[in-house]
Structure 1
Amino acid sequence: MSKKNEDHELFKIVHNPSDGTITLLRKPDPHSPPQSDPTLPIPVLSKDLTINPKNNTSLRLFLPRNALTHDNNNKLPLIVFFHPSGFILMSAATTVFHNFCLQMADNLAALVASVDYRLAPEHRLPAAYHDAMEALHFIKASNDEWLTKHVDYSTCYLMGSSSGANIAYHAGLRAASDHDLDLKPLKIKGLILRQVACGGTKRTESELRLEKDPILPLSDADLMWELALPVGVDRDHEYSNLTVGDGGRLLEKVRDQGWRVLVSGSGGDPLVDRNVELVKLMKEKGVCVVSDFEDDYGVHGVEFRHSYKAMQLFALLKTFISHS
């Protein structure tokens, strides 16, 4: 692994100057347990389902409590969510993501299924993409009553933030283009991509302008890709640079499926220019894409730091889903 000249606070990664290696310090992050007791005075219940015990992958489901008392014919849209943190940190149980999914399920009146996928560098990409597809197969075949009784399988969205949006994007490309893939009765209606993690060897204006960004400095973004991408490839690999490789061709499959795609971002995010480029490519390929880039300079992951930003995002998602 290449030598770095600085510590990397965002990912708890430290350069070891004696031998040039890098140590990934996975300090325990705050976790929240699921709460599935319907007698609890809480608006959203949650529980975990194991997807693949060998890979230690799972789903955390979030169900609005009032769904338990509604007519089963009034079913909820399904949002399959992939958490952020650079492909290498945290989980669906991390408190900040747990709370975000609770609020999203409550505000959107949806069942949210947050995927706990394998992390790099122990499991480099495309491991997380494989886990995403396995999660979709698990959901469509599951006999869990929260899913079978309360989910409208014909209204499914793949959603992620940052690295999670990258996973949702690549899973969507695979689901749209694989003619042999049978997800019935699950029907994907669209993708919800928030501040998509994507890269490239040529710097964008927003990356250079925000090189020392306190949330996502350029050095941390580069190191994230070094840890997450297959060994021996650079940031122009199609897992990172979404404008190269088969991505453009596969977007035509997304178009043919009739999916709608929402791409949202913030002016103060170093990734904003790359997200704008992705929207441009989607439009060129005829994808029905809705873009929302805030006029203010909200930072990367702002919705996890400020509740009012989360509420603004939920309002955007509610509108997007209602028009799908």
Structure 2
Amino acid sequence: MDIKVEIADFKLEQAMDPDAEVERDLSPFLRIYKSGRVERQLGTEVLPAGTDPATGVASKDVVLFDPDAGLWVRLYLPDLAGCTPDKRLPVVVYFHGGSFTVETAASPTYHNYLNSLVAEACVLAVSVNFRRPPEHPLPAAYEDSLAAVRWVTETGEAWIAERGDLGRVFLAGDSAGGNIAHQVALRAGAEVLGGGAVIKGLLLIHPFFWGAELLGSEDPVFGESIDSLWRLLCPGTTGLDDPRVNPLAELAPGLGSLPCRRVLVAVAEKDRLRERGRAYYEALRRSGWEGEALLLESEGEQHVFHLHNPQSDKARAKLRAVVDFLTAEE
């Protein structure tokens, strides 16, 4: 057979293979093939749990409920020699970012960040590994995250039972994780949590929010990409005024129903999501919510800059502000 014919046949066969033909290219995050196979391009590296030599923070993984369900958490405990003796630690439930689709609780980005946060703040952290779209469309991540919060408040797990203060629970997350933290706070606030748990605070770092109507300096082209992504993440959505992506939409629950009494919203000047964070903060202050709302703005910085360059002066200042928020005495 002629070599040119062989090459042509090979290319035709490759083009007809649904496991090799790209249906949606969402680089640099992931590609989806016609077979349904998902190729993630970011957040695939993992680090094992253990004791971090730099901070002395210990971590371990715990599978929740059914091992086949894919829901697990990574717990972090600081070196207690550096904490106040005999004092129980605030519990921070953390939801990782990554556009809902990439990164995990074992990603180096989040493992290293939480080691630093736990060491600086002397808190007990629970990093949630939820199911991700597109294999598990929303609301799966919300359901998993709420289930993890319930587990934290009801479990007899040794670190939480012996060292955690369930009267000081904080929900926190960045980007998509900030979106999840807000949604979980609303849902958890509508029920009685076990163990006498109290959600004291909500920490939203560069939260993934959007809406059908553009705000301020928002880019319409970027808005179109958010719309396309959101419809992939949440196939049953009504669009960008779905309360799950737009907490200020007409049909969204009022922010005054948040169960906590302290909220910190962090935004960055060059982050294309910044207008949404600012609008959330302003709406919260106008809502009649009886609590303390704080806005932390980082000038000249991009989305989740503190994760990409954690040793920079601004990243260190941001970490200090987060620590102060978690440890402030009421």
Normalising by structure 1, report the TM-score. Answer: 0.84
* Inter-CA distance 285–248: structure 2 relative to 1 (3 Å threshold): farther
- Counterpart Cα distance in 2 of 1:11 and 1:205: 27
* Structure 2 counterpart of 1:298, from 293, 298, 301: 301
Asked whether the 8 Å contact 1:31–1:93 carries over to 2, the reply is: yes
Give 1:280 shift.
Answer: 1.6
* Inter-CA distance 248–142: structure 2 relative to 1 (3 Å threshold): closer
Aligned to 1:281: 283
- Counterpart Cα distance in 1 of 2:134 and 2:179: 16
Taking the TM superposition and a 5 Å limit, the aligned residue runs for 1:55-94 are: 55-66=69-80, 71=85, 73-94=86-107
Q: Which runs of 5+ in 1 are unaligned?
A: 212-216
Q: Which runs of 5+ in 2 are unaligned?
A: 1-21
Give 1:137 shift.
Answer: 1.4
Asked whether the 8 Å contact 2:117–2:323 carries over to 1, the reply is: no
Give 1:149 shift.
Answer: 1.2
What SS does the aligned partner of 1:125 have? coil
* Paired letter, 1:225: W
Taking the TM superposition and a 5 Å limit, the aligned residue runs for 1:17-56 are: 24-27=38-41, 29-35=44-50, 43-52=56-65, 53-56=67-70
Q: Tell which structure's C-alpha radius of gyration is larger.
A: 2
Give CA deviations for 1:92-114 in whole Å, capped at 9, x if unaligned. Answer: 00111111111110111111110
What SS does the aligned partner of 1:226 have? helix
Give 1:143 shift.
Answer: 1.8
Normalising by structure 2, report the TM-score. Answer: 0.83
Taking the TM superposition and a 5 Å limit, the aligned residue runs for 1:85-234 are: 85-178=98-191, 181-208=192-219, 220-231=225-236, 233-234=238-239
Asked whether the 8 Å contact 1:57–1:116 carries over to 2, the reply is: yes
Aligned-residue CA RMSD (Å) = 2.7
Asked whether the 8 Å contact 2:246–2:252 carries over to 1, the reply is: no
Structure 1 range deviating more: 42-51 or 154-163:
42-51
- Counterpart Cα distance in 2 of 1:128 and 1:87: 8
- Counterpart Cα distance in 2 of 1:5 and 1:230: 16
Asked whether the 8 Å contact 1:13–1:24 carries over to 2, the reply is: yes
Give 1:293 shift.
Answer: 1.7
Asked whether the 8 Å contact 2:212–2:240 carries over to 1, the reply is: yes
Asked whether the 8 Å contact 1:229–1:239 carries over to 2, the reply is: no
* Paired letter, 2:283: L
- Counterpart Cα distance in 1 of 2:193 and 2:30: 40
What SS does the aligned partner of 2:194 have? coil
Counting matched residue pairs gives 302
* Paired letter, 1:184: G
* Inter-CA distance 220–66: structure 2 relative to 1 (3 Å threshold): farther
* Inter-CA distance 68–151: structure 2 relative to 1 (3 Å threshold): farther
Asked whether the 8 Å contact 1:81–1:112 carries over to 2, the reply is: yes
What SS does the aligned partner of 1:184 have? helix
* Inter-CA distance 150–208: structure 2 relative to 1 (3 Å threshold): same
* Inter-CA distance 232–138: structure 2 relative to 1 (3 Å threshold): closer
- Counterpart Cα distance in 1 of 2:295 and 2:110: 23
Aligned to 1:214: none
Give aligned-pair identity as a percent.
26
- Counterpart Cα distance in 2 of 1:304 and 1:87: 16
